């Protein structure tokens, strides 16, 4: 009886242990409960995630799982907490699973006591804010199967010696993403001993490949991620031993040459990422063996050739990314077999052929189709409505012709449509947007569409981005924009609007960051630009319209304001001295070519961020205000073509970042100040056509970087300083600034290829001289003395004009050292002696004027010199061809003053000047705004994203090496 009672009791206990635990009958062990409470105590838990950690049964607490049989805590999983990791965990002896990922342990070291948790099989410390050396004690966890210490957001963990890892012989999963493994050069040997490894992730570990290993024993490995390590080598040979891989990520590793043959045996691959390397082969035929491949990404390489043979067998493909390579040819018909394909990225290649290749079942599955910046042609398919899942369609910068099919209006999933820079045309109607209720971005710049919906049309969508540059929308301002409440980006430039801007429009601008209404015939006044944008960096471009009235007050969010070439009038005082706005962020202000008058007020202290200031071509009078000195970030200042008088303000010397200073065509008086040397970064200095007098100061020679110096048309006297050889860029002793920045307006979506942009841009006629314009113009002053030999040290000069001065003496023999000279004008002075024979060495010379001096003797022979017109030499005592007079007869050629020639040379100089200030003016402003963005990120991988964010708003900046 006694026995059977105890037996019964035993049975009940066992049964209960088996079945009742989950019903919370079993209380957890007191020692473990205490340990957990101590553990909790050291954690920060402001939001009460561990509020269930009370009561006796710790097995009931959130994040805790106990062993059903023994009641021991087996499993701890806590997230989103801070604080410290208490060593009390040691008392939880049977712990098998510890998941502390996604916490914030505030830069603490991983505690070594974790190495004493002998039963641990699963340890996840990822993204938990641990720093420092990973303790080798973890190597004691011989049962460990899963170890994750990775951090995708940047880890500060480090391993200096990997040996401890080799003890973890049960390890199946190892993730050390972001951990610094640059020191242990034996990482591969160590890992090669982990024979159970299935999944290995060593992304961004700063690994190196100094190893002689070429066979590895990774037969069990299914997943390998080595992305983001800068190996900068060939793909290592041992990769061929990984025939069972299902997932391989070698992106961004600096691998080069051909796509490795060794991949061909990995026929089980489902995911292959080789993007952002420098592979330059074609896509090998054996890719067609990857019949299970779902994701193929080889974007951002130098891969060439066609893809005809590639796709046929890849019927499992879901995502295909070949963008930004050098692929060409037409797309294979076999695309139609890829019935699972959802994403195609082919942007930035040279694919051609008809865009209608997308037929068959692919039309039903495609969600993302990116074809931008290729050479696709043909018309949009009339069955475009069959692409029932299409969310994003990008065909920017191709040669797509024809109209927009009405079926476009059936793409009810469509969110994003970018078709700028094609040759589409025709009439677009409300029908084209019928079901596009999800549309957010619509960009179709540069096509010849006409769109004039009914005035009562209410669009089914709420757009955030809209650009219709060059569409025919006018003459009325499009009324339907009234319904767009979330616009972030709007370009209606060049759309034939002949209207005033309706008042409701300004209630639709509170989320705008880009507004471009330029090149229309918008008239009327603008009451204010105060309600614009919700954070900084708003750009507004209303140039080339007929807007009148005063310059409106602006929101402090505006950083770029372009109102040039309008009819704005009145004084600048209200705008610049406005007290409403406290913190102006304006960096670029262009009010050029308006009808502004009055003095420039002393209010520049309110505009501390200004980098580019353009007020040229107005009717401004008075002095240049001394508060201009508060603009200490100014890089580009244009006051040309006004009626400014007085001297250059002393305070201007504080604008030490100035690269361009253009004060030409005013009535400025006084001397060129000696403090000009403070503006030592100047690349362009234009003081042309003012009333400046006195000597040219020696201090001017401190402008080492100067490339264009124009002091023509003043009353400067005295000798030309003998220190011009200090202009070290002109002298070829110093490189011109590393990069020059050309801006070409609104060539959004263009190929990042200099040639393309320069040719397409409006600076076409200058494209050959654009890169190296170096000019020195001192003409039309009263300079005396001889031509200093130091000027001939400026061997990079392309144009030199010293004409209409009172220079005497000989033309220095060394003039021929200025080997790049294309234009030389030293006419109308008192130069004497013979033309040096050396001048015939100036092989680039295309314009020469030596007329009206006292030169004598024979014109040197040299094919070039004889090719110039006689007017280049008349008014001297010269003889020989091209002049008709024979030398022996000692006859002077007669001629009258040739005003046309005089004007001709002036115009020529002026053209250089105008051109430079146009280019550099736009340009340097963007050095600050856009330049750093472009320079600091990888151009190739992000240019498209960047373009999307800068948009086609005003300027597309092209970075180009200045000197080849
Ligand atoms: C590929 O690049 C390697 C150097 O990385 C070069 O030697 C080879 O000629 C290139 N091949 C092609 C087809 O451009
Ligand atoms: C591919 O596998 C076959 C047989 O499995 C083997 O003979 C061949 O050497 C392997 N090729 C490579 C490049 O590893
Ligand atoms: C496509 O796959 C089939 C069978 O899977 C194979 O016989 C054929 O050779 C493959 N085609 C190519 C081009 O590799
Ligand atoms: C664009 O396509 C048309 C016809 O489709 C063709 O005639 C023209 O040459 C193409 N233009 C370019 C620049 O490829």
Q: Confidence class of residue 737 from pLDDT cuts 50, 70 and 90?
A: low
Ligand nearest to C-alpha 421: 4
- pLDDT value at 129 more than 50: yes
Residue 341 CA to ligand 4 centre (angstroms): 29
Q: Confidence class of residue 228 from pLDDT cuts 50, 70 and 90?
A: very high
Closest residue (by CA) to atom 7 of ligand 1? 257
Mean pLDDT of 25-34: 84
Ligand nearest to C-alpha 284: 3
Where does residue 206 rank: exposed (0-12), middle (13-18), buried (19+ CB within 10 A)? middle
- Which of 256, 277, 280 has the most ligand 1 atoms within 8 A of CB, as the residue to mutate? 280
- pLDDT value at 82 more than 90: yes
Residue 238 CA to ligand 2 centre (angstroms): 12
Residue 378 alpha carbon, nearest atom of ligand 4? 5
DSSP 282: B
Mean pLDDT of 616-620: 95
Q: Which helix (H) or strand (E) holds 562?
A: strand 558-562
Residues 6+ positions from 212 with CB-CB distance below 8 Å: none
Burial 506-531 (b: 16+ CB within 10 A, else e): bebbebbbbbbbbbbebbeebeebbe
Mean pLDDT of 776-793: 94
Residue 312 CA to ligand 3 centre (angstroms): 8
Any atom of ligand 3 within 6 Å of the Cβ of 308: no
Classify domain 600-879 at the CATH topology level.
Answer: 3.80.10
Q: Confidence class of residue 908 from pLDDT cuts 50, 70 and 90?
A: very low
296 beta partners: 272, 320
Mean pLDDT of 907-934: 32
- pLDDT value at 422 more than 90: yes
Closest residue (by CA) to atom 1 of ligand 4? 399
Q: Confidence class of residue 761 from pLDDT cuts 50, 70 and 90?
A: very low
pLDDT in tens, 351-382: 999 999 998 899 999 999 999 999 999 999 98
Mean pLDDT of 565-580: 89
Output the pLDDT for position 626: 94
Closest residue (by CA) to atom 5 of ligand 1? 257
Q: Which helix (H) or strand (E) holds 704?
A: none
Closest residue (by CA) to atom 14 of ligand 2? 240
Tracing tokens 């009390």 back to the chain, one arrives at 88
The fraction of the chain above a pLDDT of 70, given in percent, is: 85
Closest residue (by CA) to atom 12 of ligand 1? 280
Any atom of ligand 3 within 6 Å of the Cβ of 166: no
Any atom of ligand 3 within 6 Å of the Cβ of 669: no
pLDDT in tens, 655-709: 999 988 999 999 999 999 999 999 999 988 999 999 999 999 999 999 998 988 9
For residue 834, how many C-alpha atoms fall within 13 Å in the half-sphere facing its CB? Answer: 12
- pLDDT value at 963 more than 80: no
Ligand nearest to C-alpha 402: 4
- pLDDT value at 15 more than 60: no
Q: Confidence class of residue 518 from pLDDT cuts 50, 70 and 90?
A: very high
Ligand nearest to C-alpha 378: 4
Residue 358 CA to ligand 4 centre (angstroms): 20
DSSP 468: -
Ligand nearest to C-alpha 282: 1
Closest residue (by CA) to atom 1 of ligand 3? 313
For residue 589, how many C-alpha atoms fall within 13 Å in the half-sphere facing its CB? Answer: 27
Output the pLDDT for position 533: 82
* SS3 of residue 906 by DSSP: helix
Where does residue 899 rank: exposed (0-12), middle (13-18), buried (19+ CB within 10 A)? exposed
Residue 423 alpha carbon, nearest atom of ligand 4? 1
625 Cα distance to chain centroid: 36
Structure tokens given for 322: 């070949």
- pLDDT value at 734 more than 80: yes
The residue ranking higher by pLDDT, 165 or 956, is 165
Any atom of ligand 4 within 6 Å of the Cβ of 377: yes
Residues 6+ positions from 735 with CB-CB distance below 8 Å: 729, 962, 963
Structure tokens given for 498: 């002949």
Residue 402 CA to ligand 3 centre (angstroms): 38
Output the pLDDT for position 216: 83
Lowest mean pLDDT among 40-44, 260-264, 908-912: 908-912
Closest residue (by CA) to atom 4 of ligand 1? 257
Structure tokens given for 328: 């060409």
Any atom of ligand 3 within 6 Å of the Cβ of 313: yes
- Residue 508 to residue 352: CA distance in whole angstroms: 41
Distance set, CA 493 to CA 398, 485, 525 (Å): 21, 20, 18
Residue 264 alpha carbon, nearest atom of ligand 2? 13
- Residue 908 to residue 697: CA distance in whole angstroms: 26
Any atom of ligand 1 within 6 Å of the Cβ of 609: no
Residues 429/384, Cβ–Cβ less than 8 Å: no
Residue 749 CA to ligand 4 centre (angstroms): 18
Q: Cα 525–526–529 angle (5° rounding)?
A: 170
Mean pLDDT of 565-571: 95
Neighbours of 427 (CB within 10 A): 12
Q: What is the mean pLDDT of the chain?
A: 84
Ligand nearest to C-alpha 232: 1
pLDDT in tens, 171-194: 999 999 999 999 998 899 999 999
Closest residue (by CA) to atom 1 of ligand 2? 265
- Residue 389 to residue 480: CA distance in whole angstroms: 27
The residue ranking higher by pLDDT, 58 or 10, is 58
**How many residues are there in the chain?**
964
Mean pLDDT of 62-69: 92
Any atom of ligand 4 within 6 Å of the Cβ of 352: no
Distance set, CA 203 to CA 127, 138, 176, 248, 493 (Å): 14, 21, 7, 11, 46
Q: Confidence class of residue 581 from pLDDT cuts 50, 70 and 90?
A: low
Residues 6+ positions from 12 with CB-CB distance below 8 Å: none
Residues 411/390, Cβ–Cβ less than 8 Å: yes
Q: Confidence class of residue 502 from pLDDT cuts 50, 70 and 90?
A: very high
Output the pLDDT for position 888: 66
Q: Which residues line ligand 2 (CB under 6 A)?
A: 240, 261-262, 264-265
Output the pLDDT for position 752: 22
Give DSSP secondary structure letters for 489-534: EEE-TTS---SBPPGGGGGS-TT-SEEE--SS--EE----B-S--S
Closest residue (by CA) to atom 8 of ligand 1? 257
Give DSSP secondary structure letters for 881-894: TTSSS-TTTTPPPP
Write the Ramachandran bin of 185: left for phi over 0, alpha for psi from -120 to 50, otherwise beta.
alpha
- pLDDT value at 919 more than 60: no
- Residue 12 to residue 596: CA distance in whole angstroms: 99
Closest residue (by CA) to atom 12 of ligand 4? 399
Residues 241/217, Cβ–Cβ less than 8 Å: yes
- pLDDT value at 927 more than 60: no
Residue 240 alpha carbon, nearest atom of ligand 2? 14
- Residue 260 to residue 244: CA distance in whole angstroms: 16
- Which of 236, 237, 243, 268 has the most ligand 2 atoms within 8 A of CB, as the residue to mutate? 243
Mean pLDDT of 210-236: 88
> What's this model's pTM, rounded to 2 decimal places?
0.78
- Which of 285, 287, 288 has the most ligand 3 atoms within 8 A of CB, as the residue to mutate? 288
- pLDDT value at 882 more than 70: yes
Any atom of ligand 1 within 6 Å of the Cβ of 233: no
Residues 331/356, Cβ–Cβ less than 8 Å: no
Residue 288 alpha carbon, nearest atom of ligand 3? 14
Q: Confidence class of residue 427 from pLDDT cuts 50, 70 and 90?
A: very high
* SS3 of residue 294 by DSSP: coil
Structure tokens given for 512: 């705008």
Residue 241 alpha carbon, nearest atom of ligand 2? 14
Structure tokens given for 253: 């590793």
Mean pLDDT of 838-854: 88
849 beta partners: 825
Ligand nearest to C-alpha 315: 3
Any atom of ligand 3 within 6 Å of the Cβ of 288: yes
Closest residue (by CA) to atom 7 of ligand 2? 265
Output the pLDDT for position 804: 95
Q: Confidence class of residue 740 from pLDDT cuts 50, 70 and 90?
A: very low
Mean pLDDT of 929-946: 29
Neighbours of 633 (CB within 10 A): 17
Output the pLDDT for position 69: 87
Mean pLDDT of 735-741: 52
Ligand nearest to C-alpha 292: 3
Mean pLDDT of 887-905: 40
- Residue 635 to residue 962: CA distance in whole angstroms: 19
Closest residue (by CA) to atom 3 of ligand 1? 257
Ligand nearest to C-alpha 288: 3
- pLDDT value at 383 more than 70: yes
User: Is omega for the bond preceding 717 within 30 degrees of 0, making it cis?
Assistant: no
- pLDDT value at 960 more than 90: no
Mean pLDDT of 846-865: 86
């Amino acid at each position: 009886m006694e026995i059977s009672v105890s037996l019964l009791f035993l049975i009940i206990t066992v049964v209960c242990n088996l079945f009742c635990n989950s019903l919370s009958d079993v209380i957890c062990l007191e020692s473990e409960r205490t340990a957990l409470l101590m553990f909790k105590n050291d954690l920060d838990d402001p939001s009460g995630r561990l509020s269930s950690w009370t009561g006796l049964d710790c097995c009931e607490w959130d994040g805790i799982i106990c062993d059903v049989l023994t009641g021991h805590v087996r499993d701890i999983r806590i997230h989103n907490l801070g604080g410290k990791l208490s060593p009390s965990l040691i008392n939880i002896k049977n712990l098998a699973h510890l998941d502390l990922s996604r916490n914030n342990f505030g830069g603490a070291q991983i505690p070594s006591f974790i190495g004493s948790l002998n039963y641990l099989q699963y340890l996840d410390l990822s993204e938990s804010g641990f720093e420092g050396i990973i303790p080798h004690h973890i190597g004691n966890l011989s049962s460990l199967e899963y170890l994750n210490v990775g951090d995708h957001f940047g880890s500060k963990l480090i391993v200096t010696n990997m040996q401890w890892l080799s003890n973890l012989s049960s390890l199946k999963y190892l993730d050390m993403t972001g951990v610094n493994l640059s020191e242990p050069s034996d990482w591969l040997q160590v890992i090669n001993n982990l024979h159970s490894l299935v999944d290995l992730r060593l992304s961004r570990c700063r690994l190196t490949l100094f190893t002689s290993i070429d066979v590895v024993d990774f037969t069990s490995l299914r997943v390998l991620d080595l992305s983001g390590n800068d190996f900068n080598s060939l793909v290592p040979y041992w990769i061929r031993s990984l025939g069972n891989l299902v997932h391989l990520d070698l992106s961004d590793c600096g691998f080069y040459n051909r796509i490795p043959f060794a991949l061909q045996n990995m026929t089980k691959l489902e995911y292959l990422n080789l993007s952002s390397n420098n592979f330059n082969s074609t896509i090998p035929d054996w890719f067609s063996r990857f019949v299970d491949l779902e994701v193929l990404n080889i974007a951002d390489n130098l891969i060439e050739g066609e893809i005809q043979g590639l796709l046929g067998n890849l019927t499992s493909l879901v995502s295909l990314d070949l963008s930004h390579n050098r692929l060409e040819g037409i797309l294979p018909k076999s695309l139609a077999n890829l019935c699972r394909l959802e994403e195609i990225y082919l942007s930035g290649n040279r694919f051609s052929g008809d865009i209608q290749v997308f037929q068959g079942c692919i039309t039903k599955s495609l969600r993302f189709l990116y074809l931008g910046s290729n050479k696709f042609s043909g018309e949009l398919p009339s069955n475009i409505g069959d692409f029932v899942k299409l969310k994003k369609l990008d065909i920017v910068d191709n040669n797509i012709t024809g109209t927009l099919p009405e079926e476009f209006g059936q793409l009810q999933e469509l969110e994003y449509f970018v078709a700028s820079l094609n040759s589409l045309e025709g009439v677009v109607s409300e029908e084209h947007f019928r079901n596009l209720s999800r549309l957010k971005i619509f960009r179709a710049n540069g096509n010849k569409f006409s769109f004039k919906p009914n005035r009562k049309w209410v669009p089914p969508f709420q757009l955030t981005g809209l650009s219709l540059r060059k569409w025919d929308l006018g003459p009325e301002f499009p009324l339907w924009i009234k319904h767009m409440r979330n616009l972030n980006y709007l370009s209606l430039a060049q759309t034939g609007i002949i209207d005033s801007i309706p008042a409701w429009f300004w209630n639709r601008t509170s989320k705008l960051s880009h507004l471009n209404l330029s090149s229309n015939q918008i008239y009327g006044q603008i009451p204010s630009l105060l309600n614009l944008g919700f954070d900084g960096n708003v750009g507004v471009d209303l140039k080339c319209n007929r807007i009148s009235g005063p310059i409106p007050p602006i929101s402090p969010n505006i950083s770029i304001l372009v109102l040039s070439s309008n009819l704005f009038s009145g004084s600048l005082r209200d705008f610049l001295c406005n007290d409403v706005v406290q913190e102006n962020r304006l960096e670029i202000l262009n009010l050029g070519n308006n009808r502004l008058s009055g003095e420039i007020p002393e209010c520049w202290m309110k505009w501390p961020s200004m980098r580019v200031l353009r007020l040229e071509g107005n009717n401004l009078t008075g002095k240049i205000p001394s508060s201009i000195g508060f603009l200490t970030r100014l890089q580009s200042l244009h006051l040309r073509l006004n009626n400014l008088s007085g001297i250059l303000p002393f305070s201007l010397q504080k604008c030490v970042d100035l690269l361009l200073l253009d004060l030409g065509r005013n009535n400025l008086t006084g001397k060129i100040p000696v403090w000009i040397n403070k503006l030592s970064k100047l690349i362009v200095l234009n003081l042309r056509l003012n009333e400046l007098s006195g000597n040219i100061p020696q201090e001017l020679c401190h402008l080492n970087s100067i490339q264009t110096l124009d002091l023509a048309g003043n009353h400067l006297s005295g000798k030309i300083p003998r220190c011009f050889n200090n202009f070290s860029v002109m002298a070829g002793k110093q490189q011109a600034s590393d990069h020059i920045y050309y801006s070409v307006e609104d060539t959004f979506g263009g190929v990042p290829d200099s040639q393309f942009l320069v040719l397409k841009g409006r600076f076409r006629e200058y494209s050959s001289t654009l890169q190296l314009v170096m000019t020195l113009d001192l003409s039309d002053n009263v300079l005396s003395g001889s031509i200093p030999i130091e000027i001939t040290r400026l061997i990079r000069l392309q144009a030199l004009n010293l004409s209409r001065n009172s220079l005497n003496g000989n033309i220095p023999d060394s003039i021929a050292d200025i080997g790049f000279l294309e234009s030389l004008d030293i006419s109308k002075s008192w130069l004497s002696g013979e033309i040096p024979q050396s001048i015939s060495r100036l092989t680039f010379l295309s314009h020469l004027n030596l007329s009206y001096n006292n030169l004598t003797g024979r014109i040197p022979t040299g094919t070039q010199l004889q090719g110039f017109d006689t007017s280049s030499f008349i008014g001297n005592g010269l003889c020989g061809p091209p002049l008709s007079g024979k030398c022996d007869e000692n006859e002077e050629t007669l001629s009258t003053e040739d005003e046309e020639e005089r004007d001709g040379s002036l115009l020529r100089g002026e053209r250089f000047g105008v051109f430079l200030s146009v280019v550099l003016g736009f340009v340097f402003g963007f050095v600050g705004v856009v330049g750093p963005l472009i320079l600091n990120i990888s151009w190739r991988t992000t240019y498209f994203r960047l373009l999307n964010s800068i948009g086609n708003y005003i300027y597309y900046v092209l970075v180009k090496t200045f000197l080849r």
